[in-house]
Amino acid sequence: MSPVTDAPATTNRGDDLGSAGGVRGLLWLTWRQHRWALLGTLVLAAVLVGWMVYLSAEMTDLYHQCHNMRCPQNSPQDQRLSANPFGLFRQASYTERLVQYMPLLIGMFIGVPVLSREHEQRTLLLAWSQDVSPARWLWTKLGLLGLFVAAVTAAVAGVSDHLEHVWTNVGTEDLFRYEAFLATGMLPVAISIGWFAVGVALGAAIRRTLPAAFGVIVGFIGLMLFVQFRYPTLMKPLSAHLQMGGPDSGLLRHNALVVTGGMIRFGIEGPSGAFDTSGRQLSGVDLQRLCPPVNDFGKMLSCFSTNHLQQHLQYQPGSRIPDFHLIVATGYLGLTAMALAAVWWLVRRTDLSAG
Amino acid sequence: MSEQSIAVEARDVSRRYGNVWALRECGFQLPANRIIALVGANGAGKSTLMSIIAGTLPATSGSLLVHGRPVVKGRSIDRGGSAASRVAILAQDKPLYRDFSVTDMLRFGRSMNRVWDQRRALSWLERFDIPLDRRCGKLSGGQRAQVALAVALGSRPAVLLLDEPLANLDPVARTDVTGELMAEAADSDMTVMLSTHIIAELSGVGDHLLLLDAGRPVLTGDVEELLDSHVRLTGPRADQPPGPGAIVQAQHTDRQSTFVVRQPAAPTANAVVAPGWTAQPITLDELILTYLKASAKAHHDLEAAA
């Protein structure tokens, strides 16, 4: 007999599942297989978080220098904020873009290889013929990687959310703008988890890393555009009539999102977007005749006011942002659930032959 | 055979890929603690059978038991399987994680198995001078096969399935590996099943034979007993051999007939069984080839009749 009991330090026993074939063993395996992707994600997240913390601190400092108001145009502080190409606003938009595309990178580099690389290297038979069952192997790995993704993106999302709020104080941006909307609240976490799961599912279905990664890119861009097109009307917009040239009613302050209306067109045969006191919409030609566009903007507003012209708007108030976040996050979590169900279905149907 | 002494039992196991049957109504019992040679031509269903035994491929119908416990696809011992029915499989292409070092592969084995014998795995690698710190992707084909074997042996399975294990090895390494495998099997309660389509690889290795042809077992049994019970009878032209036994193969010329016969009792080698007839023992190679040819002829006759 081979002396199993003579080598206690290196021998697993049948009753010691905690250290062998358990979470610890799979934790090591997950780390060993995905360490470069995980380290890359950590480095990217650390750089992003550091950069955003720096931008937030700088913007806050300038905000205080301008007595907690927007800095006057052409002031040194405004120059520092708005300069191109490395003004703080421009840098904040770069970080915003990175936060927006981070889920794509997670899907491609962490999600896709989980199963596609095993298929490509034909190591699934090796992995699934050990004492750890395929189900345990799959769900433990997905759980560990999912936790990592959630933790890293939560850190990024927290700092990103803070930066966006500082930015709205210092600049003219608002939180309902699509890029800002995606980079705030819980959305970076939900979107990252969603694309991680989709990446795993595509890797399981296509079984090749490059085509699956390409599938993630196409799906990510397609869904991002779809959400951008659809998100303004996820809830029924509110309607309002605004007096043109009149005092600011404050309706569109605090991050409101204009869904329709608000644009004035001069000189065209079609509708101008301006309404007279009887509620009739003027054509562009009528509006140009009534209030000719001139270089003096104040004079033009005065004309609008004198003629009691109005605009009809549909908008989403900024107070709805948390609700919209919840709706979009729920959609992405639904996508996650569907992707994981597909992964489980594909794994159950995967038959492995030794030949 | 008692239930304890049966390592693998197949009950009408069939497996179909689309419209093609890879295995058809396979029924056999394989003894425990032996080295079983699974022989068959390419496409005979050897890998499919091994994958079903390992639980990585479901049977289309029938059931398969390892040490009396039914094999269920995807169910390993952490979900109710028994340690006594643990099966390890080494696939034809000896897959390893390319970017893992050999040491990492051993840790993989330790992490993924409830039972792990590091000393056994290390000793296997030392025997074949495999560098532990080298990445698997940089190893030669033969070295990769040794690492894969070390991982399989380290998990101390009750049944070790080796699909074409000698394919990547040079002739010297083949002899070494088969010798070491036989020693490992003799030293432990392990049943080894190794498949091959190269009959010459089998000489002196397997002590039990399972011969597959077109997805069906055509011959199974202890190698010694099979060789003892088969005889080649050569004599004057006749339609039947001059003694009892089932005809496996009959060949005729104008003046002479040759029969390979499976006899109920062991014949005496080279004995004259009837006037003008001689009886000769046959080798394992001849036995396997005879059965494969007989099976092919039976298929051909069936197809012609259809």
Is A57 contained in some domain? yes
Is A236 contained in some domain? no
pLDDT of residue B289 exceeding 50? yes
Position B199 scores a pLDDT of 75
Residues of chain B found within 8 Å of residue A1, distances taken between Cβ atoms: 187-188
Contact assessment for residue A273 and residue A242, using Cβ atoms and an 8 Å cutoff: no
Contact assessment for residue A34 and residue B125, using Cβ atoms and an 8 Å cutoff: no
Is A198 contained in some domain? yes
* pTM of the complete model: 0.86
Share of chain A above pLDDT 90, in %: 59
Instruction: Name the residue facing A131 among B86, B98, B118 (closest C-beta).
Output: B86
**A36 part of contact set with chain B, CB < 8 Å:** no
**A2 band by pLDDT with thresholds 50, 70 and 90:** very low
Residue A151 shares a structural domain with residue A267: no
Q: Which of B67, B41, B45 is nearest to B57 (CA)?
A: B45
Residues of chain B found within 8 Å of residue A139, distances taken between Cβ atoms: none
H helix or E strand, kind and range, residue A76: helix A76-82
Is A152 contained in some domain? yes
pLDDT in tens, A35-62: 999 999 999 999 999 999 999 999 999 9
CA distances to A241, A270, B119, B165 from A276, in Å: 11, 15, 92, 89
pLDDT in tens, A58-112: 999 999 998 888 888 888 888 889 887 789 999 999 999 999 999 999 999 999 9
How many structural domains comprise chain A? 2
Position B3 scores a pLDDT of 55
Residue A268 shares a structural domain with residue A227: no
CA distances to B172, B178, B209 from B175, in Å: 5, 5, 19
Residues of chain B found within 8 Å of residue A7, distances taken between Cβ atoms: 117-119
Using the beta-carbon criterion (under 8 Å), do A13 and B74 form an inter-chain contact?
A: no
Using the beta-carbon criterion (under 8 Å), do B47 and A353 form an inter-chain contact?
A: yes
How many residues are given for chain A?
A: 355
Residue A127 shares a structural domain with residue A172: yes
Is A19 contained in some domain? no
Using the beta-carbon criterion (under 8 Å), do A21 and B113 form an inter-chain contact?
A: yes
Nearest CA to CA, how far is A350 from chain B (Å)? 8
Residue A142 shares a structural domain with residue A69: yes
Q: What is the mean pLDDT of residues B189-201?
A: 83
Is A342 contained in some domain? yes
**What domain range is A283 assigned to?**
257-316
pLDDT in tens, B221-269: 999 999 989 999 999 998 888 878 888 889 899 889 999 998 876 555 4
Nearest CA to CA, how far is A135 from chain B (Å)? 8
- Residue in chain B nearest A27 by alpha carbon: B111
Nearest CA to CA, how far is B186 from chain A (Å)? 9
Residues of chain A found within 8 Å of residue B92, distances taken between Cβ atoms: 354-355
Residue A294 shares a structural domain with residue A224: no
pLDDT of residue A4 exceeding 70? no
Residue A136 shares a structural domain with residue A45: yes
Using the beta-carbon criterion (under 8 Å), do B56 and A130 form an inter-chain contact?
A: no
Residue A204 shares a structural domain with residue A298: no
Is A225 contained in some domain? yes
Long-range contacts for A275-278 (Cβ within 8 Å, ≥24 apart)?
A275/A241, A275/A309, A275/A310, A275/A311, A275/A312, A276/A307, A276/A308, A276/A309, A276/A310, A277/A308, A277/A310
pLDDT in tens, A243-276: 877 666 666 677 788 888 877 788 788 888 888 8
Residue A214 shares a structural domain with residue A199: yes
Instruction: Name the residue facing A25 among B73, B100, B111 (closest C-beta).
Output: B111
Range of lowest pLDDT (A277-291, B112-126, B145-159): A277-291
Residue A307 shares a structural domain with residue A327: no
Stretch 64-123 of chain A: residues touching chain B, C-beta under 8 Å? 121-123
Residue A59 amino acid letter:
M
Q: What is the mean pLDDT of residues B122-129?
A: 92
Residue A262 shares a structural domain with residue A191: no
- Residue in chain A nearest B51 by alpha carbon: A353
Average pLDDT of every residue of chain A: 88
Cα–Cα distance, A171 to A168 (Å, whole number): 5
Residue A303 shares a structural domain with residue A223: no
How high is the ipTM of this complex? 0.84
Instruction: Name the residue facing B116 among A3, A11, A125 (closest C-beta).
Output: A11
Helix (H, G, I), strand (E, B) or coil at A249: coil
The alpha carbon dihedral of B269, B273, B279, B284 has a sign of: negative
The alpha carbon dihedral of B97, B98, B100, B103 has a sign of: positive
**A11 band by pLDDT with thresholds 50, 70 and 90:** low
Position B276 scores a pLDDT of 85
Cα–Cα distance, B300 to B292 (Å, whole number): 12
Instruction: Name the residue facing A135 among B51, B74, B97 (closest C-beta).
Output: B74
Residue A132 shares a structural domain with residue A278: no
pLDDT in tens, A116-137: 999 999 999 999 999 998 999 9
Instruction: Name the residue facing A130 among B91, B113, B161 (closest C-beta).
Output: B113
Residues of chain B found within 8 Å of residue A3, distances taken between Cβ atoms: 119
Is A119 contained in some domain? yes
